[in-house]
């Protein structure tokens, strides 16, 4: 497609590299930006310029932070014996949003994927091993995606962790029917797993929980 | 929501001002940018910085251009007697993509909307009036949206244009059933208009056109 100007073409092409944004959406966004004041567009450009300049990876857990050690690792009120392993920062933020988790995290930065050439050393797994050797961790919760690659990563990590410290409790977040879902439209694997991992009602009160 | 750093917050908020991008999508895009190299993100930032610096409005037709007069207005091969009035640059580009139109354009920059305080003077209607007075235009095609506001704008323009030059042919692009649509799911207004504006088959060949 021919664009009215070179600078429009550059923005369309740069925006269309973002996930979920095709050339058509990208053009619509660019034309929208042309209707905005130059100041507003520069504000976005400046924010992008500064993104990598003041955001780093936490040396401890690989979370994003503006300091060497992130707020979560620095928070002495959080349970340092409980560690939650996630793939990406987005997963960490999703868990934080629930407000239910009071331990610390370790962000792998992806999952093991031999097809894409991602092994343990491409992820922050060596740092995790080091943490297990040096910190006093009692339980590690795997909060990885329930895909083939996620399960492979969890299996690899479990074996590594237990070979270092067999006394650590390993757990994974519950797999089952999501809240608000109808059984009829739930896939067979999820449904069979939710039957296998069924929970017993301990008291009458827990029926509604 | 609490963001890991101030610079992430700035990008999330700037991106979420774009149409169709909410806070959740914006965060996903920002975390994606954090996984990219600083160079790639700076490329996008630079493209945005330069957007307004080298793209202007064509003095003649209000299209976007890197010169005072756009390529389309400067193209002597195009029919200068035929003018197509559109609301936005996106509409112009959509028509250009068909390759069917060989005349020139006039981009209004929106449509008349009293509720939003947009009258003829907020649009490039005065420039259009001037073009009608100075250029030798034989036909003006209204290619405006088929909404209440689009129709109001077309009505206002038709009256103005004919009061200046009653010999100009005024037309609008065909309204009817879109290509590939099923009659059953077409709304009543479109269906009734497509009956009123029915076309007669002039030759057997035109049945398939």
Q: What is the mean pLDDT of each run of 10 residues along chain B (209 residues)?
A: 90 94 94 93 94 92 94 95 94 90 95 93 95 95 91 94 93 85 83 80 57
pLDDT tens per residue, range A34-80: 999 999 999 999 999 999 998 999 999 999 999 999 999 999 999 99
**Could you count the other beta carbons within 10 Å of the beta carbon of residue B206?**
10
Q: Do the domain assignments include residue B34?
A: yes
Q: Is residue B47 domain-shared with residue B80, that is, in the same domain?
A: no
pLDDT tens per residue, range A172-192: 888 888 888 888 888 888 888
Tell me how far apart the alpha carbons of residues B105 and B82 are, in angstroms, rounded to a whole number.
8
Q: Do the domain assignments include residue B168?
A: yes
Give me the CATH number covering residue B167: 3.40.1360.10
pLDDT, residue A146, reads: 87
Distance from CA of A202 to the nearest CA of B (A): 35
pLDDT, residue A208, reads: 52
Domain extent, residue B33, equals 6-51
pLDDT tens per residue, range A10-42: 999 999 999 999 999 999 999 999 999 999 999
Determine which of A47, A73, A91 to mutate to test the interface with B (most B C-beta atoms within 10 Å).
A47
A95 vs B208 pLDDT, higher one: A95
DSSP A186-203: S-HHHHHHHHHT-----S
Tell me how far apart the alpha carbons of residues B69 and B46 are, in angstroms, rounded to a whole number.
25
Q: Do the domain assignments include residue B147?
A: yes
Distance from CA of A51 to the nearest CA of B (A): 5
Give residue A2's region: left, alpha or beta (phi > 0; psi -120 to 50): beta
Query: In angstroms, how far apart are the furthest CA atoms of chain B?
Result: 69
CB contact under 8 A, B28 and A42: no
Distance from CA of B120 to the nearest CA of A (A): 17
- All residues of chain B having their beta carbon less than 8 Å from the beta carbon of residue A55 are 4-5, 7-8, 34
User: Which of B7, B34, B64 lies at the smallest CB-CB distance from A34?
Assistant: B64
User: Which of A14, A66, A97 lies at the smallest CB-CB distance from B6?
Assistant: A66
Q: Do the domain assignments include residue A105?
A: yes
CB contact under 8 A, A48 and B44: yes
Question: Does the ipTM surpass 0.95?
Answer: no
Percent of chain A with pLDDT over 90: 76
User: Which of B4, B49, B50 lies at the smallest CB-CB distance from A65?
Assistant: B4
CB contact under 8 A, A27 and B90: yes
CB contact under 8 A, B32 and A19: yes
Q: Is residue A72 domain-shared with residue A133, that is, in the same domain?
A: yes
pLDDT higher than threshold 70 for residue A205: no
- All residues of chain A having their beta carbon less than 8 Å from the beta carbon of residue B52 are 34, 38, 41-42
Query: In angstroms, how far apart are the furthest CA atoms of chain A?
Result: 69
Q: Is residue B139 domain-shared with residue B100, that is, in the same domain?
A: yes
Q: Is residue A178 domain-shared with residue A162, that is, in the same domain?
A: no
Give the number of beta-carbon pairs within 8 Å between A and B.
159
What is the chain B residue with the closest CA to A110?
B35
CB contact under 8 A, B29 and A43: no
Q: Is residue B94 domain-shared with residue B131, that is, in the same domain?
A: yes
Q: Is residue A73 domain-shared with residue A97, that is, in the same domain?
A: yes
- All residues of chain A having their beta carbon less than 8 Å from the beta carbon of residue B73 are none
Q: Is residue A37 domain-shared with residue A69, that is, in the same domain?
A: no
Q: Do the domain assignments include residue B58?
A: no
Q: Is residue B101 domain-shared with residue B35, that is, in the same domain?
A: no
* Number of domains composing chain B: 2
pTM of the complete model: 0.80
pLDDT band at A204, cuts 50/70/90?
low
Distance from CA of A98 to the nearest CA of B (A): 11
pLDDT, residue A203, reads: 57
Distance from CA of B203 to the nearest CA of A (A): 35
Give me the CATH number covering residue A33: 1.10.8.420
CB contact under 8 A, B1 and A89: no
Q: Is residue B46 domain-shared with residue B91, that is, in the same domain?
A: no
- All residues of chain A having their beta carbon less than 8 Å from the beta carbon of residue B70 are 4
Q: Is residue A168 domain-shared with residue A189, that is, in the same domain?
A: no
Q: Do the domain assignments include residue B108?
A: yes
Determine which of A2, A3, A8 to mutate to test the interface with B (most B C-beta atoms within 10 Å).
A8
What is the chain A residue with the closest CA to B25?
A20
What is the chain B residue with the closest CA to A18?
B29
Q: Is residue B46 domain-shared with residue B81, that is, in the same domain?
A: no
User: Which of B13, B31, B54 lies at the smallest CB-CB distance from A88?
Assistant: B31
What SS3 string covers chain B? CCCCCHHHHHHHHHHCCCCCCCHHHHHHHHHHHHHCCHHHHHHHHHHHHHHCCCCEECCCCCCEECCCCCHHHHCCCCCCCEEEEECCHHHHHHHHHHCCCCCEEEECCCCCEHHHCECHHHCCHHHHHHHHHHCCCCEEEEECCCCHHHHHHHHHHHHHHHHHCCCCEEEECCCCCCCCCCHHHCCHHHHHHHHHCCCCCCCHHHHHC
pLDDT, residue B180, reads: 82
Q: Do the domain assignments include residue A1?
A: no
- All residues of chain B having their beta carbon less than 8 Å from the beta carbon of residue A18 are 29, 32-33
Q: Is residue A67 domain-shared with residue A150, that is, in the same domain?
A: yes
Phi, psi (degrees; rounded to nearest 5) at A176: 175, -160
């Amino acid at each position: 497609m021919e664009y009215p100007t070179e600078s429009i073409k550059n923005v369309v092409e740069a925006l269309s590299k973002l996930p979920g944004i095709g050339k058509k959406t990208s053009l619509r966004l660019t034309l929208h930006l042309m209707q905005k004041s130059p100041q507003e567009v520069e504000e976005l450009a400046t924010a992008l310029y500064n993104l990598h300049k003041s955001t780093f990876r936490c040396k401890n857990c690989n979370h994003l932070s503006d300091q060497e050690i992130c707020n979560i690792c620095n928070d002495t009120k959080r349970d340092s014996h409980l560690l939650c392993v996630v793939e990406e920062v987005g997963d960490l933020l999703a868990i934080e949003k629930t407000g239910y988790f009071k331990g610390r995290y370790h962000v792998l930065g992806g999952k093991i994927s031999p097809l894409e050439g991602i092994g343990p050393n491409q992820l922050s797994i060596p740092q995790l091993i080091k943490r297990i050797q040096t910190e006093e961790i009692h339980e590690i919760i795997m909060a990885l995606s329930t895909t083939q690659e996620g399960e492979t990563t969890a299996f690899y990590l479990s074996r590594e962790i237990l070979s270092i410290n067999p006394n650590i409790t390993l757990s994974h977040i519950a797999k089952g029917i999501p809240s608000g879902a109808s059984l009829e439209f739930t896939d067979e694997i999820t449904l069979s797993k939710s039957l296998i991992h069924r929970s017993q009602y301990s008291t009458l009160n827990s029926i509604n929980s």
